[in-house]
């Protein structure tokens, strides 16, 4: 099933996308899509609901983050070989792990806010892996059993903060609005192979990123298993699994970064699309 939350920020209702691509209002049956509360068993019960039994939503309401209860937003860096090459960095022997502050999380249509002092604001379309069952030192073979579903994430990055200010990458990854998630949470049963999904991102209608999760260095199962050795993954946690080539910092003959008023459109096959406009803080 494809779950959504729609409506004004802080007052979202739960909905789903039916077989015709239309938004249905599930709020009469579901108060909120809180994954720590629901977990995988709760999602399975919700998946038995029949979308046609619920009213269609008129118009084009704002879409929010499709679920709540995110305790961690974990990033994986340089997980596509071509992206590592365009960044001029070594191919990692193990997953590169960083954290994005949960305060950066925003909806798939909300503005991306340029922070004060920003000079190199960049884009990164990524497959988001949503945890549905507590994962602690899980094996590779059982890793996907702990996944609730998948979503689109834009790992918005400020490169000068990330790479030129010393310390870890986190400073360039966690500013407000740097973690748009959604529009949908697509349950795992609808994504039989997370390693065969096409990703794309355009800026102002011009092609920037094209890729496929088949070319990941570390696949979804390996990432979940790996991370679970170093931290407990909880229901609702989101893993950003890396981005394909085509980011602004890697453009030739010179880098190109986001400016106020620019519009990013991005998506992943079967997981929906985001539309994000850059504006000053």
Over its length of 281 residues, how does the chain's per-residue pLDDT go in tens digits?
Answer: 999 999 999 999 999 999 999 999 999 999 999 999 998 889 888 989 999 999 999 999 999 999 999 999 999 999 998 888 888 888 899 999 999 999 999 999 999 999 999 999 999 999 999 999 999 999 999 999 999 999 999 999 999 999 999 888 999 999 999 999 999 999 999 999 999 999 999 999 999 999 999 999 999 999 999 999 999 999 999 999 999 999 999 999 999 999 999 999 999 999 999 999 999 99
Say if residue 144 is in the same domain as residue 248: yes
Record the pTM. 0.96
Q: Specify the CATH number for the domain of residue 232.
A: 3.90.850.10
The answer to whether residue 189 is domain-embedded is yes
Same domain for 82 and 40: no
135, 183: one domain:
yes
**Domain hosting residue 270, numbered range:** 73-280
- Considering the domain architecture, whether residues 23 and 88 belong to the same structural domain is answered as no
Residues 95 and 188 placed together within one structural domain of the fold: yes
Q: Are residues 227 and 258 in the same domain?
A: yes
Q: For the segment 226-262, what is each residue's pLDDT rounded down to a tens digit?
A: 999 999 999 999 999 999 999 999 999 999 999 999 9
**Domain for residue 68, yes or no?**
no
Is 151 found in the same domain as 25? Answer: no
- The encoded tokens of residue 194 equal 């997370």
Q: Give the chain's domain count.
A: 2
Residues 28 and 121 in one domain: no
Identify the sign of the CA torsion 109, 207, 173, 146. positive
Residues 184 and 119 in one domain: yes
């Amino acid at each position: 099933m494809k779950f959504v939350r729609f409506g004004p920020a802080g007052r979202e209702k739960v909905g789903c996308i039916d077989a015709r691509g239309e938004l249905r209002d599930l709020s009469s049956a579901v108060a909120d899509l809180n994954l720590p509360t629901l977990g995988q068993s709760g999602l399975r019960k919700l998946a038995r609901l029949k979308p046609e039994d619920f009213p269609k939503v008129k118009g084009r309401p704002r879409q929010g983050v499709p679920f709540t209860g995110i305790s961690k937003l974990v990033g994986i860096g340089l997980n596509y070989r071509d992206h590592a090459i365009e960044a001029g960095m070594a191919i990692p022997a193990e997953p590169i792990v960083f954290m994005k502050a949960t305060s950066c999380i925003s909806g798939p249509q909300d503005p991306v806010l340029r922070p004060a002092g920003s000079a190199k604001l960049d884009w990164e379309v990524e497959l988001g892996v949503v945890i549905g069952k507590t994962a602690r030192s899980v094996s590779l073979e059982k890793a996907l059993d702990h996944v609730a579903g998948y979503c689109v994430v834009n790992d918005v990055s400020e490169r000068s903060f990330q790479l030129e200010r010393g310390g870890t990458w986190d400073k360039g990854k966690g500013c407000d609005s740097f973690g748009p998630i959604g529009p949908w949470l697509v349950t795992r049963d609808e994504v039989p192979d997370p390693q065969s999904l096409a990703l794309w991102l355009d800026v102002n209608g011009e092609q920037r990123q094209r890729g496929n999760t088949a070319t990941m260095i570390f696949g979804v199962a390996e990432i979940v298993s790996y991370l679970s050795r170093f931290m407990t993954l909880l229901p609702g946690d989101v893993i950003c699994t890396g981005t394909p080539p085509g980011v602004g910092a890697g453009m030739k003959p010179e880098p190109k970064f986001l400016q106020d008023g620019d519009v990013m459109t991005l998506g992943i096959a079967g997981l929906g699309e985001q539309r994000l406009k850059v504006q000053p803080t």
